Chain A
Amino acid sequence: MYQLALSRMREFYREPEAVFWVFGFPIVLAFALGLAFRNTGPGRLQVGVLAGPGDSAVAVVLDSSPRLVATVLDTATARLRLRTGRVALVVIPGDPVVYRYDSTRTESGLARLEVDEVLQRARGRKDLVAVRDDRAVAPGSRYIDFLIPGLLGMNLLGSGIWGVGFSVVQARQRKLLKRYMATPMRRSHYLLSFILSRLVFLIVEVVALVGFGWLLFGVAVRGSFVTLAGITILGSFSFAGLGLLVASRAKTIEGVSGLMNLVMLPMWILSGTFFSYARFPDAMIPFVKALPLTALNDALRAVMIDGAAVTSLGTPLAIVGAWGAVSFVVALKIFRWR
């Protein structure tokens, strides 16, 4: 079994493409998304002032606010910039002053409040109640903090299913499985060797992604590393089992690719990798929560962001474990050995 696992690992690291997709790709993805959604604070909102009488006076007033940048625009440019999101809101000076904006956009709503505040104050509105800002930065509230655990979960899913699925089907297609059957090798050893070799790669995957997030974006692991390791091992086993199940009957690479996408695509979208699954309708949530990747992502985020203890993660971990155990047993039952 040790030799089998060793062979699996050798075959893997001698395949440069596979190494990139498993280790490199998630890091590139994390880097790109981390840059795109980096938190620069609330920033200054871009607003437009429609050219016309009194435009520059309004623009100067708005520009004086530390949170607004105002530009005077003609009608056509204003419409274009509003549509493409380059400005959050367009002010049309006059009486009454008109705010033109898209009310479904968060930024525009903010701009509406801020612009109104600045303009009203400039005309002498006074605060009726004394207020004070207490700015608190909640730890782990950035997008990258949310993203890294999700990518980790997605990566475990992908490498589990691809890593196991493709090599099983390839061995079957090349009649290598049949050749192994002609030796005294135990069948369970063959299947377990996949899990064992996955375990070794798991360490590299987790260290690479978590280390990357920590070094570049300061994404800390607030919970214990032991818990994190335990969860990723469980997740990895579970997905390796799922990979075996996917590959248990398929005879061709094409056939298994379709099955893999069928399994993985819904989970990528539904399981809260890139955005919270709370955005889905309430009726879907129980179904989404029953998916192994959702449960794993939840557990990973609880440990990395909230520093949760393993005892509080019973439900998601049970879901992950159950998926793995059931698919492994079913895979063993229906596995096509030739």
Chain B
Amino acid sequence: MAVAGLDLSVGAGECFGLLGPNGAGKTTTIEILEGLTPPDSGDVEILGTPWREGAAGRALRERLGIQLQETQLADKLTVSEVLALFRSFYRQSHTVEEVLALVELEEKRKARVVTLSGGQKQRLAVACALVSKPELLFLDEPTTGLDPQSRRQLWEIIRRFRAAGGTVLLTTHYMEEAERLCDRVAIMDHGKIIALGTPKELIASLGADHVVDFAPTEGGIPADLVEVLRQMGGVSAVRTGSDGVSLTVVELHRALPALLALLQQRGVELSLLTTHHATLEDVFVALTGRQLRDT
């Protein structure tokens, strides 16, 4: 079973993110919500209505915009032909020109799909979702595999959609993306929700807002040193991994000098020392003990 015991609700006008590594069950979850995969058990309500076959289901679909993770649109059609086709499925829709403007693909309107770059294809996929003037937009890993610039363009499209009052449910395995875009996120792992809240709340749940990573040049860190680190003022958590030690600290300006002094006193040479603001990535690591990317 890909997903089990999920219980969550998304409010109107919200941007909600499902976060987790590949295989966590994000796509299964979003496809159940989209009415594409029937759940084995449980209830789904979208815009106040459960999924039904036939006319009721179609009426609900009129109000949704959906982008799937793996859809490849017809290569031989041009951008505006694809949009005209998707537009024809809906009773109410943007004109092709309007939706081209929404995703900034005006210059590509006559280009065939096969000639588009990855980012442009993805924007076209989102355009197909936006063409119906949806109240609720589902985006399944909209920016996976895109370069930073294309990713930012997509974020901008999502922001504009929200500014116009739309609700968004997206999945991603980029924690940074979730932090920037989402009002609330659910972190998923192995088909279960392991954390739910606003990005701020989740980061605050670490009990500290900075993370210090360091690694010694050779050998490991002696166990007694780890114990000493735990007792140090301002340190709320210590994790040791194969490639070094990671401290979660409250007051960086106090903890860092103390740490350096301690390491010098013990004669430990460092090959790496970095600090950053705590992110959702650190929340995931704290909850699962694994890095997000290498799972």
Q: What is A's interface to B at a CB cutoff of 8 Å? A: 2-4, 6-7, 10-11, 14-15, 174-176, 178-186, 338
Contact = CB atoms under 8 A, between A and B. Distances in A.
Given A10-B77, A11-B74, A14-B112, 13 more contacts: A3-B85, A4-B85, A6-B85, A7-B77, A11-B76, A175-B68, A175-B72, A181-B36, A182-B34, A182-B66, A183-B90, A184-B61, A338-B36
Contacts of A10: 76-77, 81
Contacts of B66: 179, 182-183
Nearest to B82: A7
Contacts of B74: 7, 11, 176
B71 A174 contact: yes
Interface residues of B, number: 29
A3 B81 CA distance: 9
Interface in B88-122: 88-91, 112
Given A184-B59, A184-B62, A184-B89, A179 B81 contact: no
Majority SS at the chain B contact face: loop
A338 B35 CA distance: 12
Nearest to B34: A182
B71 A3 contact: no
Interface of B: 34-36, 58-59, 61-62, 64, 66, 68, 70-74, 76-77, 81, 84-91, 112, 128, 132
Given A11-B77, A178-B71, A338-B36, A3 B84 contact: yes
Contacts of A186: 58
Nearest to B57: A184
B138 to A, nearest CB: 8
Given A10-B81, A11-B77, A183 B71 contact: no
Given A174-B71, A174-B72, A183 B77 contact: no
Contacts of A15: 76
A169 B86 CA distance: 20
A258 B49 CA distance: 43
Contact of B68 (A2, A14, A182): A182
Contacts of B62: 184
A286 B123 CA distance: 57
Contact of B90 (A11, A180, A184): A184
A7 B58 contact: no
Nearest to A176: B71
A234 to B, nearest CB: 28
A182 B61 contact: yes
B53 to A, nearest CB: 11
A189 to B, nearest CB: 9
B61 A178 contact: no
A6 to B, nearest CB: 8
A182 B36 contact: yes
A175 B71 contact: yes
Contacts of B64: 182
Nearest to A7: B85
